[in-house]
Amino acid sequence: MGRVRRGCAALFGARARRRWVHLILGGALLMPYWLLGLVATGPLLGAEGTFGGSYAAQFGAYAVALPLAAATAVFPLTRLMSVAAAKALCGVAPELFADGPAVSRGARLRTAGWFTLHVGMGGLISGASLALPPFAVTTALLPLSAGIRDWVRLPASLDRPWVLALAPFAGAAMLLALAVCAAAAGALLARLAPALLGPTPADRVAAAERRTAELAARNRLARELHDSVGHALSAVTLQAGAALRVLDSDVPGDRAFVREALAAIEQTTRRTVGELDGVLGLLRRDDEPAGSRVPTGPTLESLDLLIGNCGLAVGYEVGADLSRVPERISRDAYRIVQEGLSNAQRYGGTDARGAPDGVRRPVSLRIAWEDDVLLIAIENPLPDRRAVVRPGGARGLRGIAERAALLGGHAEAGPVDGGTWLLTARLPLTGARGAR
Please write the tens of the pLDDT for every residue from 230-249: 667 666 776 677 677 777 66
Least confidently predicted of 79-88, 107-116, 198-207, 348-357: 348-357
Q: What does the alpha-carbon distance between residue 178 and residue 132 come to, in Å, rounded to a whole number?
A: 8
Pair (280, 359) in one structural domain: yes
Give the model's pLDDT for residue 375: 92
Q: What does the alpha-carbon distance between residue 212 and residue 427 come to, in Å, rounded to a whole number?
A: 24
Please write the tens of the pLDDT for every residue from 383-401: 766 554 444 455 678 888 8
- Amino acid letter for position 382: L
3-state secondary structure at position 366: strand
Q: Computed from CA positions of residues 256, 262, 266, 269, in that sequence, does the dihedral angle turn out positive or negative? A: positive
Q: Is the pLDDT of residue 348 over 70?
A: no
Query: What percent of the chain clears pLDDT 90, i.e. is strictly above it?
Result: 26
Long-range contacts of 247-250 (CB under 8 A, 24+ apart): 249/354, 249/356
Pair (148, 227) in one structural domain: no
Pair (318, 418) in one structural domain: yes
Give the model's pLDDT for residue 388: 46
Pair (291, 163) in one structural domain: no
Between 214 and 17, residue with greater pLDDT: 17
Q: What does the alpha-carbon distance between residue 113 and residue 198 come to, in Å, rounded to a whole number?
A: 13
- Report the run of H or E that residue 426 belongs to, with start and end: strand 420-428
Pair (125, 10) in one structural domain: yes
CATH number at residue 220: 3.30.565.10
Q: What does the alpha-carbon distance between residue 150 and residue 375 come to, in Å, rounded to a whole number?
A: 103
- Report the run of H or E that residue 64 belongs to, with start and end: helix 55-72
Residue 37 lies in a domain: yes
pTM of this prediction exceeds 0.75: no
Last residue of a domain, one of 199, 219, 250: 199
Residue 112 lies in a domain: yes
Contact 426, 409 (CB under 8 A): yes
Going by DSSP bridges, is the β-strand pair 314-319/363-369 parallel, antiparallel, or unpaired?
A: parallel
Give the model's pLDDT for residue 360: 46
Average pLDDT over residues 87-100: 89
Residue 341 lies in a domain: yes
Last residue of a domain, one of 199, 234, 250: 199
Residue 434 lies in a domain: no
Pair (185, 238) in one structural domain: no
Give the model's pLDDT for residue 359: 41
Give 128-146 as a DSSP string. HHHHHHHHHHHHHTGGG-H
Pair (338, 218) in one structural domain: yes
Residue 225 lies in a domain: yes
Least confidently predicted of 60-69, 292-301, 331-340, 345-354: 345-354
Pair (144, 267) in one structural domain: no
Pair (285, 222) in one structural domain: yes
Contact 411, 423 (CB under 8 A): yes
Q: What does the alpha-carbon distance between residue 24 and residue 129 come to, in Å, rounded to a whole number?
A: 9
Pair (44, 116) in one structural domain: yes
Residue 413 lies in a domain: yes
Pair (235, 158) in one structural domain: no
Total count of domains within the chain: 2
Contact 309, 343 (CB under 8 A): no
Between 160 and 187, residue with greater pLDDT: 187
3-state secondary structure at position 273: helix
- Amino acid letter for position 179: A
Give 153-195 as a DSSP string. T--TTT-SHHHHHHHHHHHHHHHHHHHHHHHHHHHHHHHHHHH
Give me the phi and psi of 100, to 5 degrees please.
85, 175
Residue 248 lies in a domain: yes
Residue 189 lies in a domain: yes
Going by DSSP bridges, is the β-strand pair 363-369/373-381 parallel, antiparallel, or unpaired?
A: antiparallel
Domain of 277 in residue numbering reads as 206-428
Last residue of a domain, one of 164, 199, 234: 199
Pair (261, 173) in one structural domain: no
Give the model's pLDDT for residue 155: 80
